[in-house]
Homo-oligomer: A and B are copies of this chain.
């Protein structure tokens, strides 16, 4: 390209590195940055650096936090005997949005995936077992995704936890509320059938 502004090109490249962002979107985003005031651009850059330096893992549940413990683990209003195990911090956001779950979390930061070279030791499973072995936990709810890796990880963890006499449950999987049975995929429908409950 004859017209090539290095600083603009670099910024487009940065945006393009984000998963699911293509060249056109990255370009539009870069032009948005150019339209900002100097102050707004500084704010944007600071937000990136701040997020990076301030946010780390909660010492207990490994969710993202700016403090030693995350707000959920610190709260006295939460039921610390019920632990919901999720794959990623974004799953905690989804659970919290529902405003229905009053327990605490444990974030694995991934799933067991031999295909991608990820074994149990790369996840926070050891820390979860430590929490369970401390003896104050009554139930562990496995809320990993209903994928092969998610299911495998849930099975693996439940086998490690059961010897401690702790109840291990799994989120129900079935047809989403409001969806049509006609359009449900076979696997979902199979799960909905096998997980059917008495009326």
Contacts and interface: CB of A to CB of B under 8 A. Distances in A.
Interface of A: 1-8, 10-11, 13-14, 17-21, 24-25, 27-34, 36, 38, 41-55, 63-66, 70-72, 75, 88-90, 92-93, 96-97, 183
Given A5-B55, A34-B64, A70-B3, A11 B92 contact: no
A115 to B, nearest CB: 19
A10 B51 contact: yes
Contacts of A55: 5, 7-8, 34
Main SS at interface, chain A: helix
B34 A1 contact: no
Contact of A51 (B34, B50, B70): B34
Copies in the complex: 2
A7 B54 contact: yes
Interface centre among A1, A5, A14, A30 (most CB of B within 10 A): A5
A8 B41 contact: no
A122 B7 CA distance: 26
Contacts of A29: 18, 21
Contact of A48 (B44, B51, B92, B97): B44
